[in-house]
Amino acid sequence: MSLSTQPYKGARDFYPEDKRIQKYMFGKLREVVESFGYQEYDAPILESFDIYAAKSGEEIVNEQLYSFEDKGGRKVAIRPEMTPSVSRMVAARRQELPYPLRLYSIPNLWRYERPQRGRLREHNQLNVDLFGVEGLDGDAEIIQVADAILKSFGAKSSDYEIRINSRGYMNQQFESFGLSDDQKHLCLKLLDKQSKIEPNEFEKMFIEKLGDGKGSQLLNFLKSEEVPKPVAELLRVLNLSGVESAAYDPAIVRGLDYYTDIIFEVFDTDPENNRSMFGGGRYDGLVGLFGAEPVPTVGFGMGDVTLQNFLEAHGLLPGLGPETDAAAILIGDVYAKAQAVVGEFRKSGLKIAVDSSGRKLDAQIRSAVKSGVRYAIFIGEKELQSGRFQLRDLKNGTEKELPKGDIVSAIQESRAG
């Protein structure tokens, strides 16, 4: 019996053509976040189970966590999100680190769930976090980074909407209505599910759970169009920072338990795909869970599956060919002798794949075409003696005999063009 060639369910194999897209996306992400002064960090994909039990929310911990006991009896988990890991790392060096501290990572994350469009069991997620800035300017920067990322891929402001709310403001309102902690929690849960429920059903549930008086008060508050002061101020700063697609939305809640104030979600405005792509917010309490003095923190996570869907839907992914510049096609048994000239091509910066299969010329050429490489360079005894080589453009079939240096410049020019 032979082994299955399928990857684990809900997880992805990346063949070079897939990996190229990921590398393109991650390259842009790194470029943008680094332009804002963020620096990359990383942490192990296995963490102690406890760090999720604390604050990641019931659904994740009870139903979606890949957790098990290691051979030493430690309860461990494959990380479902990065925020607990980065909070742990900041707590470990709370005193030594320089603030404002700007950190980013693109970790691989796992959740056990039913695979569906835009949601797999594993994905990579850009995590961008700003530690040590208490005020709205920090919130503004984080949202500005999210906006700059989408624009860097060529998205227009009208392609997406950044919906902002304030948990801090909501909590104040909940308190003014006299809600208990349990009721507050319940309200957030209901709001989080709002988009999946019929409006009538939603209102009925509110009244049912909170009683006539408080329920109606809350529903009125949720319908009010008045923008809370902190959100209005944030929108003003965002506007001055060139962020045009931000707006207040009292229905934004975010599933995770640890958010403490400003939260936001970015929606695709395409009517075919009008859903939340990613989001984030302020979570000032998490570092404190690790025994360190709390650090004000705001951040967001952006998954690569959702991002790629968005870019594809809006036609924003470029065609990407292989990184390899040329296939060296060997005429006769010249592998060893060809090494010197191939070495020179490589030193000049060319990426050259040598066909060392020993097959006939046409088989070598067919493979080169199949691989998608742009050029073929023919190398045989005659060429090695004369120092002149045939360069064939496999895209349009043209061929030229050129000395080494001209081959290098011809390929470099075509790359730039």
Residues 4-43, interacting with a second copy (CB under 8 A): 4-9, 11-16, 19-20, 22-23, 34-43
Touching a second copy, residues 78-97 (CB under 8 A): 78, 88-89, 91-93
Q: Which helix (H) or strand (E) holds 246?
A: strand 246-248
Site membership for a second copy, residue 319 (CB under 8 A): no
Q: How far is the CB of 181 from a second copy (least distance, A)?
A: 21
Q: In the complex with a second copy, which residue's Cβ is closer, 267 or 345?
A: 345
Instruction: For residue 17, give every residue at least 6 positions away whose Cβ sits within 8 Å of its Cβ, in sequence order, or none.
Output: 320
Instruction: Give the chain's end-to-end CA distance (angstroms, integer).
Output: 51
Q: In the complex with a second copy, which residue's Cβ is closer, 35 or 274?
A: 35
- The pattern of x and - marking residues 274 through 303 that bind a second copy according to CB under 8 A reads ---------------xxxx-----------
Q: In the complex with a second copy, which residue's Cβ is closer, 253 or 287?
A: 287
Q: Which of 176, 195, 356, 386 binds a second copy (CB under 8 A)?
A: 356
Q: How far is the CB of 64 from a second copy (least distance, A)?
A: 9
Q: In the complex with a second copy, which residue's Cβ is closer, 99 or 381?
A: 99
Q: In the complex with a second copy, which residue's Cβ is closer, 43 or 317?
A: 43
Q: How far is the CB of 397 from a second copy (least distance, A)?
A: 18
The answer to whether 252 and 188 have CB atoms below 8 angstroms apart is no
The answer to whether 79 and 110 have CB atoms below 8 angstroms apart is yes
- Estimate the crossing angle of helix 304-313 against helix 16-35, to 10 degrees: 100
Alpha helices in 254-403 (DSSP H): 304-313, 335-347, 361-371, 381-386
Site membership for a second copy, residue 2 (CB under 8 A): yes
Q: In the complex with a second copy, which residue's Cβ is closer, 37 or 403?
A: 37
CA-to-CA dists, residue 160 to 21, 316, 404, angstroms? 21, 13, 50
Which of these, 357, 370, 365, lies nearest to 321 by C-alpha position? 370
Touching a second copy, residues 169-228 (CB under 8 A): none
Dist. CA 382–CA 385, nearest whole Å: 5
What is the token pair recorded at 10? 């809900």
Touching a second copy, residues 42-81 (CB under 8 A): 42-48, 50-51, 54, 63, 66, 68-72, 74, 76, 78
What is the token pair recorded at 99? 């603030």
Per the listing, tokens 């995590």 go with: 127
